[in-house]
Every structure is written in C-alpha cells, then in structure tokens.
Amino acid sequence: MFTFILRQLFLVKSEFSLVTVLALIMHVGTTFASTPLDATVKQINADLQYLQVEAFDFPASLASELGAIKTTAFVAMPINASTKKLPLLISLHGGGGKNWTVAEQLARSAKVKGLALAEKANRELVLFAPNSSDNWDPVTLNLALDYFLKQHPHVDTKRMYLIGHSMGGTGTLAWALANPERFAAISPSGFRLRSKLEDIDRLLELPIWLMVGAEDGMRPSDVYGFATDLKKAGHKQVGYTAFPGANHPQANAAFFGSVDLVEWLLSHSKK
C-alpha cells in the first residue's frame, strides 16, 4: 500500500515535500490501522498483570447456527500458564450487553464482569466469554462451547464452571438445567423466576452457589425461593448469598468481585 502511494505521488506534476509525503503515509496507516476491538484488546492487555485477552472468532460456517450469539467472543489466558490442562471459567453477560459492540462488552468485562474477576483471582484458568444480542440459548451456547473446546484442547473438561449475573444468571441456570453434565459447578446471580422451574432434580448433583443483591426488587425472593426448592428436593451442595444493601448494579459488582467464588468453583471437579 505504501509503495503504491509513493509511486502515485511522484507521478503527478506537483512537487511534494518529504514532510508532506510522510504525513500522507501516516494518515493512510491510521486509516488502515487496528479496529476498535483491536485497540480495546491492546489497552486492556497493557493494564492486566496476570492474564492476556484476545478476540475469538467463530467461523462463517458456524455463524448461521449460533442464533443471537455474536461471531466474536473473547478469551483470556494466564500470562505464565503451565503446560498442564487448565480449568475453564465461562462468563455470561447481562441484558445490558445485548446492543453493545464486542469492544464495549470487553471493556465492561475488564471493569465489572468475568475478566475483572479472573484477573483479580489470579488463578491458572481460561476465561471464555461469548457475546449475545438476545437472551442466552443453551442450544447455541453448546455449539459455541464445542467449537471453542476443539480450538483449545488444553482445557480440562472436568473443570468447567459457569457464572453470570442478571440475564447472565438466567442463562447460567437455563444452560445448567439443559446440560448439567457439562459443568463441575455453577453460580447464577441476580436472576428472576416468575414461576417454579421444572426438572430441578437434574441439578441435584451439581454444586450451585446462588447470589443476589438484598435490595434488588423481587430478585431476593426469587433466588432464595429457588435455593429453598433445591434443598427441599434433596440438593446437598447449594449455597445462597444476599449482598447486604445491594441493588442490581451493586450486586453485579459484588458478584464479579468475589475471589471466594472463584476459589469455591475451583474446589469442584467432575468425577
């Protein structure tokens, strides 16, 4: 590209100074520079101490099957990862991210979502964060995860953990109900249940830590009621935390700031 520009400049009759030529080259270089997502990734990686994040693109052949899932997710890996297989933390975003670009979603994740939590925990794990323009669907999430795992054989599939707040909490619960065998433990937070869930016996062997803001409208009643239903059904590994005085955004911050949650998740492994 630069060679072509120089050739064109010297073909015209007007005379250009060296400064003018260099300025034009810099302008074109900026025009063809990195995308907003590339710039966001670069900035976030400069700020991270323990992880490095990168965009993860699904192929065009799969995109048509992914429904509302966007064709770009993001993945974070430990900077100094060992050669052993690593656990996988899957983080589902809330409804606020439906209309955001992937770059905007990544920037938020670095502040108060899954990337912030994984960085704060500083444990050897892989973070996988898909992005969606609508409610989470277990069918398309399975397709996305299957493709991701094929590209990342170093993931320990006996230690896959699923978390999310708000719409992400609802998605976490829906995916776990559909495929409890995939996960070693889950933590849905800040979700609504407008009716009792059927088939909760499918979750009885899956460790679950439920969280919610204590001042988050009807959600504390919904989440606590669900914890009660699980215990009545015979669930032996269900936890419940209500963040004192927390509304919906404050509960999100508390949830994605909980290193104890990461430690609890990593204490579980499928047999």
Taking only the tens of pLDDT, the chain with its 271 residues reads 433 333 343 344 444 444 444 444 444 444 334 688 999 999 999 999 999 999 999 999 999 999 999 999 999 999 988 889 999 999 999 999 999 999 999 999 999 899 999 999 999 999 999 999 999 999 999 999 999 999 999 999 999 999 999 999 999 999 999 999 999 999 999 999 977 788 999 999 999 999 999 999 999 999 999 999 999 999 999 999 999 999 999 999 999 999 999 999 999 999 8
Q: Between 3.40.50.1970, 3.50.50.60, 3.40.50.1820, 2.30.30.90, what CATH number should domain 35-266 receive? A: 3.40.50.1820
What is the SS3 assignment for the chain?
CHHHHHHHHHHCCCCCCHHHHHHHHHHHHHHCCCCHHHHHHHHHHHHCCCEEEEEEECCHHHHCCCCCECCEEEEEEECCCCCCCEEEEEEECCHHHCCCCHHHHHHHHHHHCHHHHHHHHCCCCEEEECCECCCCCHHHHHHHHHHHHHHCCCEEEEEEEEEEECHHHHHHHHHHHHCHHHCCEEEEECCCCCCCCCCHHHHCCCCEEEEEECCCCCHHHHHHHHHHHHHHCCCCCEEEEEECCCCHHHHHHHHCCCHHHHHHHHCCCCC
State residue 13's pLDDT score. 40
pLDDT at 29: 44
**Distance linking the first and last C-alpha atoms of the chain:** 56
